[in-house]
Amino acid sequence: MICEECGKREATVRFEQVINGKRTVMNLCRECAEKKGIMNMNVFLQPSFNISSLLSALLGSQIKGAPALEPGEETRCPVCGMSYRDFARAGMLGCSRCYKTFEERLDPLLRRIHGSDRHVGKAPVKAGGSAKARREIDSLKRELSRAISKEAYEKAAELRDTLKEMEQKLRGEQA
């Protein structure tokens, strides 16, 4: 296949881009891809490339469009002092408290990246059903808290009873 840009060399790079639902595909030679800034394979091969730098690049593009804040206006983590803008630049949070401090902005981001705002990774085989049961208990506790805050006391009582039953069952398995 011949390069769609110069029409001279063999196309070795396939570039696909989706913007606002419109898909564009270009087949380019290496030289034309580099001129367009499309191909810089070295960035993925460098030891400094990591998921933090990728996340930082993604967040940086979101922040550029954000309205400017006054110097004292930006929220900072009370423990480490990191701002959301600092997180966007670094691609990493400063401490565990940052998750709570920036919860409103992190939840949609985590949902978009992982499909959920909770980690539901694999459980060790040795843990058996206890790891799954603990996750269910945590989920019930969150649901109970929401029911109480909505003043749905009948639902809260049902959840409390289910929670007690599951916790007793889990304690029995561990004994």
Please give the pLDDT value at position 59: 59
Is residue 15 assigned to a domain?
no
Overall number of domains in the chain: 2
DSSP-assigned states of every residue in 33-87: HHHTT---THHHHSTT--HHHHHHHHHHHHHHTSPP--TTTS-B-TTT--BHHHH
In contact, 170 and 163? CB cutoff 8 Å: no
Please give the pLDDT value at position 66: 43
Q: Please tell me whether residues 50 and 86 are part of one structural domain.
A: yes
Please give the pLDDT value at position 16: 81
Low-confidence ranges of the chain (pLDDT < 50): 41-47, 61, 63-70
Is residue 149 assigned to a domain?
yes
Please give the pLDDT value at position 131: 72
Is residue 26 assigned to a domain?
no
Is residue 32 assigned to a domain?
no
Is residue 20 assigned to a domain?
no
Q: Please tell me whether residues 105 and 129 are part of one structural domain.
A: no
Is residue 61 assigned to a domain?
yes
Is residue 79 assigned to a domain?
yes
Please give the pLDDT value at position 91: 78
Please give the pLDDT value at position 52: 58
Q: Which residues of 16-55 are buried (b: 16+ CB within 10 A; e: fewer)?
A: eeeeeeeeeebbbbebbbeeeeebeeeeeeeeeeeeeeeb
Q: Please tell me whether residues 109 and 135 are part of one structural domain.
A: no
Q: Which domain holds residue 94?
A: 45-67+75-114
Is residue 2 assigned to a domain?
no
d(CA 17, CA 30): 17
Q: Please tell me whether residues 109 and 136 are part of one structural domain.
A: no
Please give the pLDDT value at position 127: 59
